Structure 1
Amino acid sequence: MFGICNLSIIPVRAEASDISEMTSQMLFGDHFTVLERGKYWSKIRLFFDQYEGYIDNKQYEEISEDLFHQLSTKEAIYSGEIIDFITSSTNDLITIPLGARLPNFSQNEFVINAKKYQYDGAIFSGILPKNEIIQKAFTYLNTPFLWGGKTPFGIDCSGFTQMAYKLCGHKLLRDSKQQAKQGEVLSFIEESEPGDLAFFDNEEGEIIHVGIILNDYHIIHAHGKVRIDTLDHSGIFNADLQKHTHKLRVIKKLI
């Protein structure tokens, strides 16, 4: 069985319960495989990053295997506005956040199953130059931190890096420890360039944080909010707190 997110944002949870931890979010247009369907909840695997979790059965629409494979192979087109809306052929109005997917979008229209939708806002598509990752990252400045979040209204550190890369046509896995396994290791900050990723660990050596490297020893990352701080060989120095908040583990070049 296959499905697609037909609402603006829905929570992906660790367990089949409304009070379970939200580990990620699906945005409008995200498609997925249904691994297990229960009475009220489904365990799903997102196509984009293979992330697994539970979603409410009331919050998605089933699609055919043919449509699933079509979406899996076709170039994605994403909404480019912080927030906008689409209208359906039945006059439903649905808000969509930055990075929502518009399936088979053409001439301001797209179709999911038999329902037509119209969207008149900005779009992103294709593989964009590496410097565009920084521009997309700046769009999220001051977004509040939200565990599992992926939108300009709440985002976590790896959701932030994933979305900045996604809007430029590049795939990152969902969690920071997964992203840290991608790409090429750089030995020094001096070898990095804007758009590369810096990863940070805890006292046990586990990767727990990630940010996007900027020019001149700065980094943009989600910590309390999406913010810009100084990056040095020890880690992230927060000028507001006058201390290091994260310990540098590794720098990776992915593109």
Structure 2
Amino acid sequence: MLSVVPMRAETSDKAEIVTQLTFGECYEVVARDGNWLQLQLAADGYRGWIDFKQHTPVSAEYYKEWRSAQHPRAMDLVQMVSNAEVRIPVGIGCYLPFFDGMSIRVGEERYQYTGRASNPGTHATPVQLLKVANNFLKAPYLWGGKSIFGIDCSGFTQLVFGICGYQLPRDAYQQVDHGEEVHFVTQAQPGDLAYFSNPEGRITHVGLVLEGQQIMHAHGEVRIDTLDHNGIYNAERKRYSHNLRIIKRIHF
């Protein structure tokens, strides 16, 4: 079990990282090609390839139990899980399977965890959502990233909403299918999701709406910029970086 494992588009260390497998997640192995395993993540159904050396097998009973339960998420930027043999760093947003307040269970192993954890049984308010999001400010951009040490735009929104108890799909073009449309940017509220398209009309970017027509999004880093009816305006570069397509409101 590792902190973060890259999941790739193809069976090569040189291949594109499409997402990351983070500590505590469960998955199915759906194919094998030499030293590479194709996984399907239990939480969002996303698929990608990992090196077999980074695979942690669990029983079918554990996988079924994992899927039927709600699991807290780590709330500290970086914390440790440990037992007598090993210490493993875990980042904010990682799953804490079967956490009982002191320990977690991964497969047949138990680990101690003394950090803060989310409560998966509660519904987050916009204030709580933005408080979680603020933890990611200055996290560096990484295509396919899903951790505090490297994250992309949809990984950021998926992780923030996931910590707060709502499972979004992995990619922005999938996330846009969730929620209720907000017709005007002036009607947007903190916690709404704004989506942006490329010249061909494809959704390629997403960010979290803040107060005062601002937006938090992963672009070079997780940062705050201005949002208006045209899109995201980067004051440092004095130009628009993304063209607004639609705003959606998630109802928890």
Structure-1-length-normalised TM-score: 0.95
Distance in 2 of aligned mates of 1:194 and 1:177? 21
Cα-to-partner distance string for 1:10-40 (whole Å, 9 max, x where unaligned): 0010011111111110110000111113331
Distance in 2 of aligned mates of 1:202 and 1:138? 27
1:14 and 2:9 correspond: yes
Q: Secondary structure at the match of 1:229?
A: strand
Aligned-residue identity in percent: 39
1:219 and 2:204 correspond: no
1:244 and 2:240 correspond: yes
Instruction: State the match for 2:119 in structure 1.
Output: 125
Cα-to-partner distance string for 1:142-173 (whole Å, 9 max, x where unaligned): 11111011111111000011111011011111
Compute the displacement of 1:121 (Å).
Answer: 0.7
Q: Secondary structure at the match of 1:30?
A: coil
Instruction: State the match for 1:48 in structure 2.
Output: 43
Structure 1 window deviating more from structure 2 (139-148 vs 179-188): it is: 179-188
Instruction: State the match for 1:3 in structure 2.
Output: none
> In 2, are the aligned partners of 1:84 and 1:95 still within 8 Å (CA)?
yes
Q: Write out aligned runs for 1:1-255 (5 A).
A: 6-89=1-84, 91-126=85-120, 127-255=123-251
Considering only aligned residues, what root-mean-square deviation do their CA atoms show, in Å?
1.1
> In 1, are the aligned partners of 2:93 and 2:160 still within 8 Å (CA)?
no
Q: Secondary structure at the match of 1:63?
A: coil
Structure-2-length-normalised TM-score: 0.96
Q: Which has the higher strand share?
A: 1
Cα-to-partner distance string for 1:27-70 (whole Å, 9 max, x where unaligned): 10000111113331111110111111111111121112221111
Q: Secondary structure at the match of 2:118?
A: strand
Q: Secondary structure at the match of 2:206?
A: strand
Which letter maps to 2:150?
Answer: G
Which letter maps to 1:80?
Answer: M
Distance in 1 of aligned mates of 2:101 and 2:198? 49
Compute the displacement of 1:111 (Å).
Answer: 2.3
For this pair of structures, how many residues does the alignment match? 249
Compute the displacement of 1:129 (Å).
Answer: 2.1
Distance in 2 of aligned mates of 1:230 and 1:110? 41
Q: Secondary structure at the match of 1:123?
A: coil
Cα-to-partner distance string for 1:90-116 (whole Å, 9 max, x where unaligned): x21111111111111113112223322
Greater than 3 Å deviation, 4+ residue runs: none
> In 2, are the aligned partners of 1:75 and 1:125 still within 8 Å (CA)?
no
Structure 1 unaligned segments of length 5 or more: list them: 1-5
> In 2, are the aligned partners of 1:143 and 1:226 still within 8 Å (CA)?
yes
